[in-house]
Structure 1
Amino acid sequence: MDRLPKIALPAVFIIILLIILISKSAVTIGSGEAGVLYKTFGGGVVTEKPPLGEGFHLVAPWNKVYVYEVRQQEVFEQMKVLSSNGLEIQIDASAWFQPKYENLGRLHQEKSEQYKERILLPAIRSAARSVVGRYTPEQLYSSKRDAIQNEIFEETKAIVDEQYIQLNEILVRDVTLPPTIRESIENKLKQEQASLEYEFKLVTAQKEAERQRIEAQGKADANRILSASLTDKILQDKGIEATLELSKSPNAKVVVVGSGDDGLPLILGNN
């Protein structure tokens, strides 16, 4: 009985030590995350193997695991850039991105956990300055919004692709011009719209006048052709046909007494 305390104390110490070691060695990688293993005595960051996936992992207590979110993320950026004529333009944009999973170790080793601040955001700013500098404020305000967005995306992607970052989309959410420039552009657009409406009405009126002229000309041509075709002989034949049809009426007694001045028969009697 006297020996139990001497055996129990080391056992308790060992159990406590094991609990500490396991707690230091156990790593749980959450959903949408991956871990970069750092070996203190084994060459530092592990880059030749895939990162640690989701779930429970045991690592040596002297090593460390850096956890990264590898699902798609979004970052917002507000930039002041210059247009082609030197005016300051404010652009509000956001980027959809995620680290390249297979290169997560190299991303951590070369760029660190601050890769968004060190690589992605500076790349977006640089691309925005380059793209916006090719356009006027009028183009930025109206017709070229989609083109600007696509160009910023392409130029940013070309930069970050080699930096182990996957860029999925750039969204230009707002373009803010100086108030005086914006008012000037809006007034110009209103004047252009009014001019287009006037031109439309003018063209419509011209087309209606042309339609009426063509219709009148057609009627005149038809009357002229008809008049030219109605000879005296044709008119006399038509008159005879009409007289004969009338003579067949049951309400009239027909007596032909010679002819009239125009050579047509005369019909007498109405009983």
Structure 2
Amino acid sequence: MANKPIEFNFPKGGIFTIVLLVVLLIVFSKSTVTIGPGEGGVVFERFGDGINTEKTYGEGFQIVAPWNRMIIRKVRQQSVSDEMNVLSINGLEVRVNGTIWYEPEYNNLGLLIKTKGEDYERELLDPAINAAARSVVGRYTPEQLYSSKRDVIEQEILDEVQIILKDQYLRVKRVLVKDVKLPTTIKNAIETKLKQEQESLEYEFRIAKAKKEAERQQIDAEGKAKANQILSASLTDKILQEKGIEATLKLAGSENSKVIVIGSGKDGLPIILGNQ
């Protein structure tokens, strides 16, 4: 006996319902967007005026019309590093390696994308950084760039970038100059010069220290000589005799055996002939 094929009998309108559900599912999937942490979104209205600059959408689940597109960008602080070839004040080529911290203005994200495009870092930030770096580095010599001017250069580049990006809906928060690379010959010359300057300062310090020590010893010797002079002037023969008598009386009271000859010493002072 042959097997009969199984037949499914859909109710009237069943196929239409399934098709409708599939269409609704597709429309729903096209209409929902999830914006991640630290991100913001703006809507591109396909049948409207393009980017909607009135509203920035925050983190979480968002619903948009299926014919529109949600553009999502990071709105938290970000950083970009770059290495630029710039010229110093004397025309020497210098390579500056730096990092920039920036963030878009959240409420003006739509205006930023509408005026500068989705790739606004390349269109707006990179040219501003390069222009500021060239302007600032061009004010200094290689020696200044290599040694003591690093923090000043960072602040001046930051100031320049903020002026360039004023009213451009993009804020630069900080500039860090990681490294300044000079040609090897220039770098070696600067290091040799700095070493010689350090040795010269050390030599001058030693000379100054020795000079102060000599002055101290001279003052000490002069003080002792003056004290001896004053003491010698005050020691008359009478005072010396009195001091001799005092010493004799103390010795006479000592338990050690001795012979004291009174009046036999120079200037009539006693002579001690014996002791223990």
Q: TM-score, normalising length from structure 1? A: 0.91
5+ unaligned residues in a row in structure 1: which ranges? none
Residues 1:225 and 2:238 are matched in the alignment: no
Query: Which aligned runs of 4 or more in structure 1 are off by greater than 6 angstroms?
Result: 253-259, 266-271
Which residue, out of 72, 88, 97, partners 1:92?
A: 97
Distance 2:144 2:188 in 1: 14
Distance 1:40 1:228 in 2: 114
The alpha-carbon distance between structure 1 residues 238 and 12, as it changes in their structure 2 partners (threshold 3 A), is: same
Partner of 2:182: 177
1:208-242, Cα deviation, whole Å (9 max, x unpaired): 21121112111111111111111111111111111
Paired residues for 1:1-271 under 5 Å: 4-49=10-55, 51-252=56-257, 262-264=267-269
The alpha-carbon distance between structure 1 residues 109 and 261, as it changes in their structure 2 partners (threshold 3 A), is: closer
The alpha-carbon distance between structure 1 residues 161 and 250, as it changes in their structure 2 partners (threshold 3 A), is: same
Distance 1:111 1:270 in 2: 112
1:245-269, Cα deviation, whole Å (9 max, x unpaired): 1222244588886776624467899
Counterpart of 1:100, as a letter, is: E
Q: Percent identity?
A: 58
1:112-171, Cα deviation, whole Å (9 max, x unpaired): 111101111100000011101100111111111111111111111222242111212111
Segment of structure 1 superposing worse, 124-133 or 69-78: 69-78
Q: TM-score, normalising length from structure 2? A: 0.89
| Secondary structure of the corresponding residue to residue 54 of structure 2 | coil
CA RMSD, aligned part only? 2.3
| Secondary structure of the corresponding residue to residue 162 of structure 1 | coil
1:56-77, Cα deviation, whole Å (9 max, x unpaired): 1111111211000112211121
Contact 1:161–1:167 under 8 Å retained in 2: no
Deviation at residue 111 of structure 1 after TM alignment: 0.9
Count of residue pairs brought into register by the alignment: 269
Contact 2:86–2:133 under 8 Å retained in 1: yes
The alpha-carbon distance between structure 1 residues 253 and 71, as it changes in their structure 2 partners (threshold 3 A), is: closer
5+ unaligned residues in a row in structure 2: which ranges? 1-7
The alpha-carbon distance between structure 1 residues 269 and 15, as it changes in their structure 2 partners (threshold 3 A), is: closer
